Amino acid sequence: MGMKNFNGKVVWITGASSGIGEALVRQFSEFGAKLILSSRRLEALEKVASDCDLNEESKLILPIDLSEYKDYQPYVKKVVEKFGRIDVLINNGGISQRSRFAETELSVFK
């Protein structure tokens, strides 16, 4: 599938409030995708959606803390209720930790 073949496709991007995730939202919006934007920061997600001129029919904003695994199912249900499916999931959400993995406390990942 070429990048320009995303018109009408449902694309869920985690970490969509800044950086690579924000850039992905901008690119997929230009390709006509229906977008689900997720991160912990609701205001930042709303700004990204506004900057991309996403209308209510083509967007769903879901503030999610990805470390809370038990919360996923209700969000998936909301997406399917609105769009009927998920065509692409981009797991971009995460943290940037500057240390060796073996020396990093588990609390950093939560």
Q: What is the CA radius of gyration of the chain?
A: 15
Query: How many domains is the chain partitioned into structurally?
Result: 1
pLDDT at 96: 64
CATH of the domain at 105: 3.40.50.720
Do the domain assignments include residue 38? yes
Do the domain assignments include residue 51? yes
Do the domain assignments include residue 42? yes
Q: How confident is the model at residue 104 (pLDDT cuts 50, 70, 90)?
A: confident
Predicted TM-score (pTM) above 0.75: yes
Do the domain assignments include residue 4? no
For the cut 60, the answer to whether the pLDDT of residue 1 exceeds it is no
8-64 pLDDT tens trace: 999 999 999 999 999 999 999 999 999 999 999 999 999 999 999 999 999 999 998
Distance spanning both ends of the chain, measured CA to CA: 35
Do the domain assignments include residue 94? yes
CB proximity list for 7: less than 8 A, separation 6 or greater: 31, 32, 33
51-103 pLDDT tens trace: 999 999 999 999 988 877 777 889 999 999 999 999 999 998 876 666 777 87
CA–CA dist 77, 83 (Å, integer): 10
Q: Which residues pair with 10 in a beta bridge?
A: 34
Do the domain assignments include residue 2? no
Do the domain assignments include residue 5? no
pLDDT at 65: 84
Q: Which domain holds residue 105?
A: 10-109
Do the domain assignments include residue 1? no
For the cut 60, the answer to whether the pLDDT of residue 2 exceeds it is no
